[in-house]
Amino acid sequence: MRSFITVIVIIINTIVIGSLVALAGIFDRGGRVYDVGARLWALAIRFCAGIKVDIKGLDHLDKDKSYIFMSNHQSHLDAVAWAPNLPFRIRFFVKKELIKLPIFGQALYMSRHIVIDRKNIESAKKSIEKAKELIRKYKLSVLVFPEGTRSMTGKMGEFKKGGFVLALETGIPIVPMAVQGSFELLPPHSLKIKPGLIHLNVGEPISMSGYTLDIKEALIEKVRNAIETLGSQF
């Protein structure tokens, strides 16, 4: 019954808050309404689903700076877990297919998320350029799941390069993060959300100093190792 109620709340929550964010985006170019709406949306889902979150490592961060946050991706609950707990103006890399979804897609687009067409390299490059402009203008941070999609096994998959290119071209530090527990609460191909605890671990920022696009593989490996280490500390 709890899972059914949660699904209903997600639908209503998305329609109401998504509509407000989409409409506000016409005038609120920086997406301030989204910042509040996204947290309320995630917290409502967590409350109804009976999900609690334990987070550590926030003391590593400077709230006045922008970061490229990178986390492993265990389930659709990851964003719901992270978003309300990071005291920053967070935006995501969003697949262009999501923008086509009624209300939800319009809300994402109007709140200045980074829309990526993974099948079109030139379009992806333009998205990175747009992201650089938005980050500077609105002092945003970006949350990236470098695997590109949630894990089907609970283990980390291969990392995509888009988030690393953005970090290298902007010089913004990457913050490695690990999530554990969300895979069990919402397994792949399931709509039943189980109540429980999700653990989040935030690592120390990794400076882009000394890294270039030519050696981004070394940076990718460093971040991957950092996420694995953080995950082993639960």
Q: Which pLDDT value is given to residue 128?
A: 84
What lies within 8 Å, CB to CB, of 74 at 6+ separation is 150, 151, 154, 179, 180, 181, 182, 183
* pLDDT tens-digit series, residues 40-54: 999 999 999 999 999
Please give the Cα distance from 192 to 40 (Å, whole number).
21
pLDDT-derived band at 134 (thresholds 50, 70, 90) equals: confident
* Percentage of residues in the chain having pLDDT higher than 90: 65
Percent of the chain with pLDDT over 70: 100
Q: What is the mean pLDDT of residues 88-105?
A: 89
Other beta carbons within 10 Å of 99: 15
Instruction: Identify the pLDDT of residue 203.
Output: 98
pTM recorded for the entire structure = 0.92
Please write the tens of the pLDDT for every residue from 4-25. 888 898 999 999 999 999 999 8
- List, in order of start, the domains of the chain with CATH numbers: 2-231 (3.40.1130)
What whole-number distance in Å separates Cα of residue 72 and Cα of residue 38?
A: 20
Q: Hunting for tokens 């350029």 — which residue is that?
A: 129
CA dist., res. 191 & res. 137, Å (int) = 38
Q: Is the pLDDT of residue 119 over 80?
A: no
